[in-house]
Structure 1
Amino acid sequence: MAYKDLRDFLATLEKEGQLLTISDEVKPEPDLGAAARAISNLGDQTPALLFNNIYGYKNARVVMNLHGSWPNHALMMGLPKNTPLKEQFFEFARRYSQFPVPVQREETAPFHEVEITENINLFEILPVFRLNQGDGGFYIDKACVISRDVNDPEHFGKQNVGIYRMQVKGKDRLGIQPVPQHDIGIHLRQAEERGENLPVAIALGCEPVISTVAATPLLYDQSEYEMAGAIQGEPYKVVKAKLSDLDIPWGAEVVLEGEILAGVREFEGPFGEFTGHYSGGRSMPVIQIKRVYHRKNPIFEHLYLGMPWTEVDYMIGINTCVPLYQQLKEAFPEEIVAVNAMYTHGLVAIISTKRRYGGFAKAVGMRALTTPHGLGYCKLVIVVDEDVDPFNLPQVMWALSTKMHPKHDAVIIPDLSVLPLDPGSNPAGITHKMILDATTPVAPETRGHYSQPLDSPLGTEKWEKILGDMLRK
């Protein structure tokens, strides 16, 4: 099922009716951002957008909304495009558990067709534009950024592939926001403690699996490439960088090689973020680009993000849920049923669990807050019974409205860490967090009147299968 590159996946989307090509001339601003915002407003079954006639850019092609629907997410995994969301979650979890799958190393890659080592001008190479009108500049926001642990460079798993926003600051300079909770923040701190620059490689226009995994909150020593192999079901192909010991996705359309400059900070931002707010301006590190590679007539990929839901929410939805699910299963293997952390990258998480005894659900919520992702996110954790589908929001709201007692079931923990981009944090990076226990009380908690639950009619599950199969044809 593995896609060899972005073009291979686009061919599948077109075959499945999930790619819309716009051949009329469009302006970079506001048309590209507006179109990507508009397609997200039209539901969760929408296609990717391919623009091939952009004013001011001869022969440039830009793809947006590549991950921006559940059909596209299913096709990314090689599943039928009408695969239900909950089935996609459990299939992603099954493949996640197959980690690690060793990589396949190649000597050359298609992006080696064109190499630029002198007079680099990113404004000529890349079609750059503002996604939202209040952005402080042009951003690259869907590139895989590769860096390596400086203190343990031989550990393949400590090489990180992540997606970070990067502002185009000059012809050969980028600003980058390395959030301290993310791996590249650790790598940069290590390099700067040595007084050294941090080598990085930036891969644009990648096939969809590595972009998905790069946005997944893996453990620090888990390799994104070995996880990509597990998700796609065969070894992931990489090629060595020419200026460093970094591994690069073989199928990338464009690659930038350079270094984050030690101790250098410049003003970066503001930028319209996945929280639905502008993040403001901050002093951030700078990348010096030293070499560029790209395919002939490359296809560029951009990501619109703003008030949910947009493409980013589909790209970081299920792959945020599954690590939390797996880590909670390690602590409570018999109890945890499913986890829905698709909302604003897990700032809200809904956990379905069995209960051992009164108060158990609150302990599950506490454990979620102490997972690697929960430490920086998971501001609100809602815990529901095992028979409540956490992906079915009407069921979750029913549980909250009938099972949660404000006096007994709302737990607030003050002054915990959260990512600084959370606009509600005060000061930035600090927030109170809350657990809402919406499970049925069990002994020794005996409050409420829950002795006569309403069951579904006999045969409901049989008819779910019959009608579901009919709807999928």
Structure 2
Amino acid sequence: MYMPLIHNLRDFLEILQREQQLLIIDTPVDPHLEIAEIHRRVIARGGPALLFSNVRGSSFPVVTNLFGSKHRLELAFGSRPLDFVHNLVALLESMMPPSWDTLRQAYPLIGQGLRIGLKNTRHAPVLECSQHPARLTELPLLTSWHSDGGAFVTLPLVYTEHPKDNRHNLGMYRIQRYDDQTTGVHWQIHKGGGYHYHEAEKLGQALPMTLFIGGPPALMLAAIAPLPEDIPELMLASLLQGTKLSMAPDPLGGHRLVAEAEFAVKGIVPPGVRRPEGPFGDHYGYNSLQHEYPVFQTTHLYHRKKAIYPATVVGRPRQEDYFIGDFLQDLLSPLFPLVMKGVRQLKTFGETGFHCLAAARVANRYPREAFAAGLRILGEGQLSLTKFLIITDGEIDVADFATLWTHVLERIQWDQDLFVFANVSQDTLDYTGPSVNKGSKAMLMGLGREKQRDLPRQFSGSLPRDCTRPLPFLPGTLVVEGCPYEQNPELADQITKHRDLVGWPVIVLVDSTDGATASMQEF
């Protein structure tokens, strides 16, 4: 199917409208809580993208749910970038030793590769209007939850350059508006923009920063993609777009501008300055708390004529970021075996917020090679933020969690296949540890062809006191409803010793059996 090139947000909205994937809402709506609630109800029903044309307190319309379905992602990008990556990997695997045949196979990819990159342009729609100084309160930033600490840019495209070598980073780090000229920047310690600021702060320098909002759909996805630190996000944006990304100089100097962005906010992040940022209802489904973060001091703002403000709403999965994450996994997963030898398949589960749970199928050619492969995964870029990693060498699809879990439980040897790593660096959004960025993670392995046990599938017998409503949900996995921890702190220990439960490899203690087993996603 022919896929037209999409150079900006307007191109994409035209396609969505033509495909009846865009609902235009002319009724006045409020960016404080109301837009977010409408968005949540629509995405829960598998509904379309939403263009709010009459936003209280702002002259700019708001569009949300741009990528909230697999179909809309296909409309945005088609199969072109996925085909390119698959063909590139296949070529690299076949080029050793090189031959004329393999070199001839490279010609089409070389042609596509020449279309990847940046190009300068004198025509930059983003420069059509300007504000000196910036007036951020005119932008329709969303407040998504009652507990949020303020209004946030929820699709921020934060551009910085390394203070020493000018390597760039484009990341999606949430932005909390304080007033017309200042915002908080939620730079996490494990992310590229945070590295740039750390280096600038060591030098006693302010870090120049450009906040883009809107633009080509490819730009938005490139900012989210978990790329290795040295791979430039703007190149990925060009690959996704299918053509070179247009850049224009800022008349006032500094970073070049993405020509087709809807908004570009310029400024600096000074060293040593912090302000409270948050709380914010994040993609794990609970609040990330208020902490001290760097401050973005704006100098000026550019925007297109009749600019459109894109936003998203995050919360308990599945939300819009679930579909984006799955698309990026499909795009990048063929590269994993190239950069992580021995890893044959890797899946992070969007139902858990991606970082919480991952699974891998690996080679286990010598005893415990799988363990080394697991450590390799936990040491790779943003995969290092994984909370729980499941490893197998079985010929199964690890993306099928029910099959994976059953296969692993049939083979795990608990005394040697479960590893807990304490006192390690963790995701800033992980609040299960003793303090921010500190905590633990685990790796579970189920290896070999031979099963170690047959798994129970039905429960009969008694339960400990304070336990009710046992329900086998998956083979070998029993869900049990229990009393609050304060009422019986020893309940978990009592369960492990109860005679009628010793045959179950995994027992999940919950406060609602019905809620925990309503679906695989709820589990």
What is the one-letter code of the residue matched to 1:24? T
Select between 338-347 and 28-37 the one with higher mean Cα deviation.
Answer: 338-347
Count of aligned pairs = 427
Match of residue 76 from structure 1:
76
Match of residue 121 from structure 1:
135
> What is the DSSP-based 3-state SS (H/G/I as helix, E as strand, rest coil) of the residue aligned with 2:275?
strand
CA deviation map 1:366-418 (0-9, x unaligned): 2110101122x111111244532233333233324434343443222222211
Question: How many Å separate the matches in 2 of 1:264 and 1:96?
Answer: 45
Bigger relative contact order (CA 8 A; separation at least 6): 1
What is the one-letter code of the residue matched to 2:54? N
- Cα displacement (A) at 1:341: 4.9
User: 1:321 touches 1:340 (CA, 8 Å); kept in 2?
Assistant: no
Match of residue 431 from structure 2:
423
Unmatched runs of 5 consecutive residues or more in structure 1: 81-87, 451-473
Query: Are positions 1:62 and 2:71 aligned together?
Result: no
Match of residue 49 from structure 2:
48
User: 2:329 touches 2:347 (CA, 8 Å); kept in 1?
Assistant: no
Seen in structure 2, the aligned counterparts of structure 1 residues 73 and 92 have a Cα distance that, compared at 3 Å, is farther
Please show how residues 304-343 of structure 1 align to structure 2 within 5 Å: 304-319=313-328, 326-332=335-341, 336-342=344-350, 343=352
- Cα displacement (A) at 1:33: 0.8
Please show how residues 284-433 of structure 1 align to structure 2 within 5 Å: 284-319=293-328, 326-332=335-341, 336-342=344-350, 343-375=352-384, 377-385=385-393, 387-433=395-441
Question: How many Å separate the matches in 2 of 1:322 and 1:340?
Answer: 13
Match of residue 443 from structure 2:
435
What is the one-letter code of the residue matched to 2:163? V
TM-score (normalised: structure 1): 0.83
Seen in structure 2, the aligned counterparts of structure 1 residues 320 and 165 have a Cα distance that, compared at 3 Å, is farther
Match of residue 109 from structure 1:
124
TM-score (normalised: structure 2): 0.75
Q: Aligned to 2:11, which of 8, 12, 25? A: 8
Please show how residues 165-184 of structure 1 align to structure 2 within 5 Å: 165-184=174-193
* Percent of aligned pairs sharing the same letter: 26
Q: Aligned to 1:20, which of 17, 23, 42? A: 23
User: 1:96 touches 1:230 (CA, 8 Å); kept in 2?
Assistant: no
Match of residue 29 from structure 1:
32
Unmatched runs of 5 consecutive residues or more in structure 2: 90-108, 455-523
Question: How many Å separate the matches in 2 of 1:329 and 1:382?
Answer: 20
- Cα displacement (A) at 1:278: 1.0
Match of residue 96 from structure 2:
none
Seen in structure 2, the aligned counterparts of structure 1 residues 243 and 222 have a Cα distance that, compared at 3 Å, is farther
Seen in structure 2, the aligned counterparts of structure 1 residues 166 and 395 have a Cα distance that, compared at 3 Å, is same
What is the one-letter code of the residue matched to 2:135? N
What is the one-letter code of the residue matched to 1:27? D
CA deviation map 1:291-314 (0-9, x unaligned): 111111111011101111111222
- Cα displacement (A) at 1:328: 4.4
Seen in structure 2, the aligned counterparts of structure 1 residues 234 and 96 have a Cα distance that, compared at 3 Å, is farther
User: 1:95 touches 1:230 (CA, 8 Å); kept in 2?
Assistant: no
What is the one-letter code of the residue matched to 1:160? N
Seen in structure 2, the aligned counterparts of structure 1 residues 244 and 374 have a Cα distance that, compared at 3 Å, is farther
> What is the DSSP-based 3-state SS (H/G/I as helix, E as strand, rest coil) of the residue aligned with 2:200?
helix
Q: Aligned to 1:259, which of 253, 259, 268? A: 268
CA deviation map 1:12-56 (0-9, x unaligned): 12222322222223232332110122223224xx42111112234
- Cα displacement (A) at 1:271: 1.0
What is the one-letter code of the residue matched to 1:51? F
- Cα displacement (A) at 1:320: 5.3
Seen in structure 2, the aligned counterparts of structure 1 residues 173 and 187 have a Cα distance that, compared at 3 Å, is same
Match of residue 150 from structure 2:
137
- Cα displacement (A) at 1:318: 3.8
Seen in structure 2, the aligned counterparts of structure 1 residues 338 and 266 have a Cα distance that, compared at 3 Å, is closer
Question: How many Å separate the matches in 2 of 1:188 and 1:11?
Answer: 38
Select between 190-199 and 90-99 the one with higher mean Cα deviation.
Answer: 90-99
What is the one-letter code of the residue matched to 1:15? R
Query: Are positions 1:200 and 2:209 aligned together?
Result: yes
Seen in structure 2, the aligned counterparts of structure 1 residues 278 and 91 have a Cα distance that, compared at 3 Å, is farther
Which of structures 1 and 2 has the bigger CA Rg?
2
- Cα displacement (A) at 1:172: 1.0
Question: How many Å separate the matches in 2 of 1:39 and 1:409?
Answer: 43
Question: How many Å separate the matches in 1 of 2:151 and 2:157?
Answer: 17
> What is the DSSP-based 3-state SS (H/G/I as helix, E as strand, rest coil) of the residue aligned with 2:280?
coil
Question: How many Å separate the matches in 1 of 2:150 and 2:230?
Answer: 34
User: 1:274 touches 1:305 (CA, 8 Å); kept in 2?
Assistant: yes
Match of residue 448 from structure 1:
452
What is the one-letter code of the residue matched to 2:72? N
Question: How many Å separate the matches in 2 of 1:329 and 1:207?
Answer: 29
What is the one-letter code of the residue matched to 1:61? P
What is the one-letter code of the residue matched to 2:417? D
- Cα displacement (A) at 1:324: 6.6
